[in-house]
Amino acid sequence: MINLVVGAGFSGATVARKIAEELNEKVVVIDSKNHIAGNAYDYRDKNGIMIHKYGSHIFHTNNDEVWQFVSRFGSFNTYMHKVIAVIDGIETTIPFNLRTLYDVFPESLAQRLENKLLQHFEYNKKVPILEFQKQDDADLKFLAQYVYEKVFLHYTTKQWGVKPDEIDGAVTARVPVYISCDERYFQDKYQGIPFEGYASLVHNMLDHPNIEVRLNTKFEDFKEEYDRLFYTGSIDEFFAYKFGELPYRSVHFKLEELDMPYYQSNSSVNYPCNYDFTRIHEYKHFLNDICDKTVIAKEYSEAFERGKNERYYPIPNEANAALYQQYLSEAKALKNVYFLGRLGDYKYYDMDKAIARALELFKDIK
């Protein structure tokens, strides 16, 4: 059996590895890019700073199987991500939590709001902003409006080109209001950054005698025979856009090298209300790279346009889900062709979810 995997990101590398080692079959992995690891690709620059080419990637999962799988290919530090947001010039942490109250409000008001929150919600509850807005209490209404406006409205408009209620609620629910003093961005059991980077991790996944990797190779240029196809590219492209294009958001990064050891106190600082960029990444925080200089990346969001930029985010809304379903029906009619990954499934997967999906798919075919 010859297997063709299109795309050398986490999804493709996971399924390739499982087939190679558990089914002992040959796998050819192709990628149109000149590197592996998809949008998780990273590299050390001339100063030795590990740069995440396509924006910050933080590994986090509650899935034991996924964690055990990735841990075979590299070890991780114990980095636990926090995000600072600048709200009215004040640095605080998001998701908006009980501590945030004391950063942005006078103490007496913060205290009152905290008491109200604890009366109305269970401690440790995560409340999506669109749900949090549905309240009768005047103080909590005020708070909901504040958080909506200061954290979500402008950031989401910059990021998605639409208001928070014009996109699937699951998107803003990724960053809920958190009734907790836990200031971390994720609460998962396993969190970290691979010491050697994501590209090294994926390289090790693909390093198997049954796997051959070919970069700079487009699917349409691959003319050899194969028995099974795993396609992690965009599903609409596979079907030559016959029902129309699935929309995506793209982002681009403006990198700046600065002659100072650190620019900001945290790897990610969000600017929900100011500037045209959404956030500034400073990558050296992830692995504590020691260096007199630093590199920052300002992130700008834009619409995806074929041939101009890269696909980053599927846009979850009803119309796009319906369009995706049309492609999915076509896909189901094909034999020995499987779609997976953010683009193949048109789903806003985190890295662990993409790997979990690939592991499940492998179990199905096995």
Which residues bind to ligand UDP, rule: CB under 6 A?
85, 94, 151-152, 155-156, 159-160, 171-172, 174-175, 270, 272
Q: Which of 358, 353, 348, 76 is CA-nearest to residue 191?
A: 76
Q: Which one, 174 or 254, has the nearer CB to ligand UDP?
A: 174
Helix (H) or strand (E) holding 263: none
> Minimal distance in Å, beta carbon 279 to ligand UDP?
7
Whether 11 and 66 have beta carbons less than 8 Å apart is answered as no
- Decide whether 160 or 277 has the Cβ nearer to ligand UDP: 160
Measured from the CB of residue 133, what is the shortest distance to ligand UDP in angstroms?
Answer: 13
Considering the complex, what minimum distance in angstroms separates the CB of residue 57 from ligand UDP?
9
Nearer to ligand UDP, 152 or 283 (CB): 152
Our CB check for ligand UDP shows the closer of 160 and 253 to be: 160
Closest contact distance (angstroms) between CB of 26 and ligand UDP is 35
State both tokens at 13: 């590398």
**Joined tokens for residue 221:** 């240029």
Structural contact between residues 319 and 346, judged by C-beta atoms closer than 8 angstroms: no
Q: b/e map of 126-162 (b: 16 or more CB within 10 Å)? A: bbbbbebbebeeeebeebbebbbebbbbbbbebbbee
Tell me the chain's radius of gyration from C-alpha atoms.
22
- Say if residues 268 and 150 touch (Cβ distance below 8 Å): no
Who contacts 158 (Cβ-Cβ below 8 Å, separation ≥6)? 276, 277, 278, 301
Which two three-digit tokens encode residue 184?
């971390």
Question: Cβ of residue 224: shortest distance to ligand UDP, in angstroms?
Answer: 36
* Least distance in angstroms from the C-beta of 140 to ligand UDP: 19
**Minimum separation from the CB atom of position 174 to ligand UDP (A):** 4
CB of 314 to ligand UDP, least distance (A): 11
Q: Is the peptide bond before 106 cis (omega within 30 degrees of 0)?
A: no
| CA angle at 365 for the pair 227 and 340, rounded to the nearest 5° | 80
Kindly tell me which of 3 and 93 has the beta carbon lying closer to ligand UDP.
93
Please say which residue, 3 or 247, places its beta carbon nearer to ligand UDP. 247
* Least distance (Å) between residue 365 CB and ligand UDP: 29
Between CA 339 and CA 214 the distance in angstroms is 19
Residue 185 has, within 13 A of its CA and on its CB side, a CA count of 21
Cα separation, 199 vs 203, in Å, equals 6
CB of 18 or CB of 279, closer to ligand UDP:
279
Angle between helices 351-365 and 64-71 (to 10 degrees): 90
Tell me the closest approach of the beta carbon of residue 271 to ligand UDP, in angstroms: 8
* Nearer to ligand UDP among residue 117 and residue 151 (C-beta): 151
Between CA 262 and CA 285 the distance in angstroms is 9
Residue nearest to ligand UDP (CB): 155
If the CB atoms of residues 15 and 58 are measured against ligand UDP, the closer one turns out to be: 58
**Placement of tokens 């604890």 in the chain:** 118
Q: Return the number of the residue (38 or 206) whose C-beta is nearest ligand UDP.
A: 38
Query: Which DSSP symbol is given to 26?
Result: E
